[in-house]
Amino acid sequence: MVLAVLAGAWAECPSGGAISPCTCKEVMPGRTMECSAITSSSQLQKVFSTDMPSPDFQFFQIVKLSGRCSLEKIPANVFGNEDTMLELTFADANKMTSYPFESLGDMHALYKFFLSNTQIDTITHFGPAPNLTMVSVTGSQVTTIESGAFEDLGRLTRLDLHDNPLTSIEDGWFSSSTSESWDIYLDGCDISEISPGAFSGTLPSGVFLQNNKFTSIPEATFRPLVENMEKRAEAGELSHYVDLEGNPLVCDCDIKWIATSETLLPFVRNAVCTNGDVDGTNIADLPADFFASC
């Protein structure tokens, strides 16, 4: 039994020809399959259905230093052994229009999932990958997220969707059951609105909203978020803040609830007014009588 396990751990990469155009390298921290030269999903399927002496990979990468990943689709369950893959990376995949997110639930060791610069416009439900901690789908065309898409990721700590054309965040999109402290990155997304029901379950410890289109800080959406951050900080747990740098905020009576709350204000950072006399003023530095007529 012990011998078999050791033999598995020491088995070498499959020979080059069999998995061409992918390459396999064995370096710490594990065995990496690198497939930047793959041009079609059937080619990918063929590589992974080759008879390999030890079909266990810890890392799978399609990353090109020059040029792009030209895959359009990834077949579900293409990667064979589902208990060893730690990271899946498809960088600059500018032809990819969808991903079988549900099938990630079968990857029991998967820790990090990374897609960038794809044509994906909809994020569907992620299968319950028990160890999936970091999820990135950035620089893509995402405008819609299935309600509860990330809800079954019990160990999520970082969700990065920056630089997608998300204009409005709707109910259920970011409901979470993670047992960890988690942060969400939505910077550079054109967002002007987050529905009060967008977040539920485990609320995030940090919400990064730099360079969006918020003109206000609506209480119904943001109070539960910053109250949760304050509560966590008070309990000595990891807690960050809501970052609103680079949003066209109009400061008026609508922001009184946060600007005048000594306990909650520290959990909103870089919120700067862009209107009238207070143009350029952080909401934390508004004159004492600013809300006198509210």
Ligand X SMILES: *[C@@H]1O[C@H](CO)[C@@H](O)[C@H](O)[C@H]1NC(C)=O
- Please give the Cα distance from 124 to 126 (Å, whole number): 6
Quote the least distance from Cβ 204 to ligand X, whole Å: 21
Residue number with CB closer to ligand X (105 or 139): 105
Which residue shows structure tokens 């898409």? 149
Minimal distance in Å, beta carbon 131 to ligand X? Answer: 4
Q: How far is the CB of 107 from ligand X (least distance, A)?
A: 9
- What is the identity of the amino acid at 269? R
Give kind and range of the element (H or E) at residue 225. helix 219-234
CB 122 within 8 A of CB 144: yes
User: To the nearest whole angstrom, how small is the minimum distance from the Cβ of residue 109 to ligand X?
Assistant: 3
Which is closer to ligand X, CB of 105 or CB of 188?
A: 105
Between CA 181 and CA 130 the distance in angstroms is 16
Q: For residue 245, what is the DSSP state?
A: T
Decide whether 47 or 88 has the Cβ nearer to ligand X: 88
**Alpha-carbon torsion, ordered 51, 57, 63, 68, to 10 deg:** 30
**Judged by CB under 6 A, how many residues of this single chain contact ligand X?**
4
CB of 245 vs ligand X, minimal distance in Å: 34
| Residue number with CB closer to ligand X (71 or 85) | 85
In the bound state, the residue with its beta carbon closest to ligand X is: 109
Q: Which of 70, 131, 177, 215 binds ligand X (CB under 6 A)?
A: 131
198, 172 contact by CB (below 8 A) = yes
User: Quick one: 83 or 237, whose CB is closer to ligand X?
Assistant: 83
Show the beta-strand stretches assigned E in 129-229. 134-138, 144-145, 158-160, 168-169, 174-176, 183-185, 193-194, 199-201, 206-208
Q: Find the shortest distance in angstroms from Cβ 237 to ligand X.
A: 20
Give the sign of the dihedral formed by CA 20, CA 109, CA 100, CA 193.
negative
Nearer to ligand X by Cβ, of 18 and 86: the residue is 86
CB 35 within 8 A of CB 62: yes
Q: Coil, helix or strand for 277?
A: helix
Q: Which of 108, 232, 256, 269 binds ligand X (CB under 6 A)?
A: 108
- For the segment 211-250, give every residue that binds ligand X (CB under 6 A): none
179 sits near ligand X (criterion: CB under 6 A):
no
For ligand X, give the closer residue by CB, 82 or 219.
82
Of the pair 56, 245, the CB lying nearest ligand X is at 56
Answer for which of 11, 76, 109, 250 binds ligand X (CB under 6 A) is 109
Residue window 60-99: x/- pattern of binding to ligand X, with contact defined by CB under 6 A:
-----------------------x----------------
d(CA 74, CA 28): 27
Backbone angles phi, psi at 218, to 5 degrees: -60, 130
Which phi and psi angles does 277 have, rounded to 5°? -60, -25
Q: Taking the complex as a whole, how short is the minimal distance between the CB of residue 9 and ligand X, in angstroms? A: 14
Instruction: Tell me which residues touch ligand X (CB under 6 A).
Output: 83, 108-109, 131
